[in-house]
Amino acid sequence: MALNIVIGTQWGDEGKGRVVDLLAAEADYVARYNGGDNAGHTVTVGDKTFKLHLIPSGVIHPHTTGVIGNGVVINPRVLLKEIETTRAAGVEITPERLRISHAAHIITPAHLALDAAREQARGEGKIGTTLRGIGPAYNHKTARGGLRMEAMLDLEEFAEGFKAHVEMVNEQLTLLYRAEPLDAQAITEQYLGYAHELTPYIGNTSIRLNQALRQGANVLAEGAQGTLLDLDHGTYPYVTSSTPTASGALVGLGLGASHVGRVIGVTKAFQTRVGEGPFPTEVFGETAERLRGTGDKPWDEFGTTTGRPRRVGWLDSVLLRYAAQINGITELTITKLDVLSGLENLYICTAYRKDRQTYSDLPLGPTDLDYEPEYEELPGWEEDIMGLRKWEDLPQTAQAYLRRIEAIAGVPIRLVSVGPERDQVIEVE
Ligand code: IMP
User: Domain containing 148 — which CATH number?
Assistant: 1.10.300.10
Lowest mean pLDDT among 97-106, 284-293, 363-372, 376-385: 363-372
Determine the Cα–Cα distance for residues 129 and 111; give it in Å rounded to an integer: 13
If you average pLDDT over every residue of the chain, what do you get?
A: 95
For atom 10 of ligand 1, the residue with the nearest CA is 275
For atom 11 of ligand 1, the residue with the nearest CA is 129
Residue 306 has pLDDT above 90, yes or no: no
Which of 175, 147, 177 is CA-nearest to residue 162?
Answer: 147
Q: Looking at the structure, do residues 172 and 238 belong to the same domain, yes or no? A: no
Ligand 1 centroid – CA 384 distance (Å): 32
Ligand 1 centroid – CA 21 distance (Å): 22
Q: Does 293 fall in a domain?
A: yes
Q: Does 18 fall in a domain?
A: yes
Q: Looking at the structure, do residues 415 and 302 belong to the same domain, yes or no? A: yes
Q: Looking at the structure, do residues 29 and 149 belong to the same domain, yes or no? A: no
Domain that includes residue 245, residue range: 3-92+205-427
Confirm or reject: Cβ of 304 under 6 Å from ligand 1: no
Rounded alpha-carbon distances, angstroms, from residue 252 to 144, 145, 215, 227, 417: 16, 18, 21, 15, 28
pLDDT tens, 40-76?
887 777 778 888 999 999 999 999 999 999 999 999 9
Confirm or reject: Cβ of 54 under 6 Å from ligand 1: no
Out of 28, 41, 233, 259, the active site residue is 41
DSSP class of residue 367 equals G
Q: Does 99 fall in a domain?
A: no
pLDDT of residue 45: 75
Residue type, 51: K
Q: Are the C-beta atoms of residues 58 and 24 closer than 8 Å to each other?
A: yes
Domain CATH number, residue 366: 3.90.170.10
Q: Which of 201, 226, 261 is the last residue of a domain?
A: 201
Q: Looking at the structure, do residues 65 and 151 belong to the same domain, yes or no? A: no
Residue 77, classed as helix, strand or coil, is helix
Q: Looking at the structure, do residues 299 and 383 belong to the same domain, yes or no? A: yes
Average pLDDT on 129-144 reads: 97
Mutation choice for ligand 1 from 130, 233, 306, 310, CB with most ligand atoms inside 8 A:
130
Q: Looking at the structure, do residues 368 and 252 belong to the same domain, yes or no? A: yes
How many percent of the chain have pLDDT more than 90?
88
Q: Looking at the structure, do residues 412 and 310 belong to the same domain, yes or no? A: yes
Question: Is-catalytic flag, 105?
Answer: no
For atom 2 of ligand 1, the residue with the nearest CA is 240
Q: Looking at the structure, do residues 15 and 128 belong to the same domain, yes or no? A: no
Angle of helix 134-142 relative to helix 109-122, nearest 10 degrees?
110
Ligand 1 centroid – CA 101 distance (Å): 23
Beta strands in 13-93 (DSSP E): 29-32, 41-45, 48-52, 65-68, 73-74
Q: Which of 201, 225, 240 is the last residue of a domain?
A: 201
For atom 12 of ligand 1, the residue with the nearest CA is 275
Q: Which of 174, 201, 228 is the last residue of a domain?
A: 201
pLDDT of residue 1: 64
Instruction: Categorize the per-residue pLDDT at 407 as very low, low, confident or very high, splitting at 50, 70 and 90.
Output: very high
pLDDT tens, 180-201?
999 999 999 999 999 999 999 9
Question: Is-catalytic flag, 13?
Answer: yes
Q: Looking at the structure, do residues 280 and 146 belong to the same domain, yes or no? A: no
Confirm or reject: Cβ of 38 under 6 Å from ligand 1: yes
Residue 359, classed as helix, strand or coil, is strand
Q: Does 349 fall in a domain?
A: yes
Which atom of ligand 1 is least distant from the CA of 276? 10
pLDDT tens, 246-261?
999 999 999 999 999 9
Q: What kind and span of H or E run contains 323?
A: helix 317-327
Confirm or reject: Cβ of 228 under 6 Å from ligand 1: no
Q: Looking at the structure, do residues 273 and 364 belong to the same domain, yes or no? A: yes
Ligand 1 centroid – CA 5 distance (Å): 20
* DSSP one-letter string for 170-217: HHIIIIIT-PPPP-HHHHHHHHHHHHHHHGGGEE-HHHHHHHHHHTT-
Determine the Cα–Cα distance for residues 303 and 37; give it in Å rounded to an integer: 12
Q: Does 98 fall in a domain?
A: no
Q: Looking at the structure, do residues 295 and 382 belong to the same domain, yes or no? A: yes
Rounded to the nearest 5 degrees, what angle is found at the Cα of 50, between the Cα atoms of 5 and 234?
40
Residue 302 phi/psi, 5° resolution?
Answer: -130, 135
Confirm or reject: Cβ of 275 under 6 Å from ligand 1: yes
Residue 374 has pLDDT above 70, yes or no: yes
Ligand 1 centroid – CA 305 distance (Å): 9
Rounded alpha-carbon distances, angstroms, from residue 413 to 368, 374, 401, 417, 428: 28, 23, 12, 11, 7
- Domain total in the chain: 2
Mutation choice for ligand 1 from 10, 13, 37, 129, CB with most ligand atoms inside 8 A:
129
Instruction: Categorize the per-residue pLDDT at 269 as very low, low, confident or very high, splitting at 50, 70 and 90.
Output: very high
For atom 5 of ligand 1, the residue with the nearest CA is 129
Q: Does 126 fall in a domain?
A: yes
For atom 15 of ligand 1, the residue with the nearest CA is 38
Q: Does 243 fall in a domain?
A: yes
pLDDT of residue 390: 97
Beta strands in 294-363 (DSSP E): 311-313, 315-316, 331-335, 345-354, 357-359
Confirm or reject: Cβ of 37 under 6 Å from ligand 1: no
Confirm or reject: Cβ of 135 under 6 Å from ligand 1: yes
Residue 134 has pLDDT above 90, yes or no: yes
Q: Looking at the structure, do residues 76 and 115 belong to the same domain, yes or no? A: no
Q: Are the C-beta atoms of residues 88 and 122 closer than 8 Å to each other?
A: no
pLDDT of residue 215: 96
Q: Does 418 fall in a domain?
A: yes
Ligand 1 centroid – CA 309 distance (Å): 13
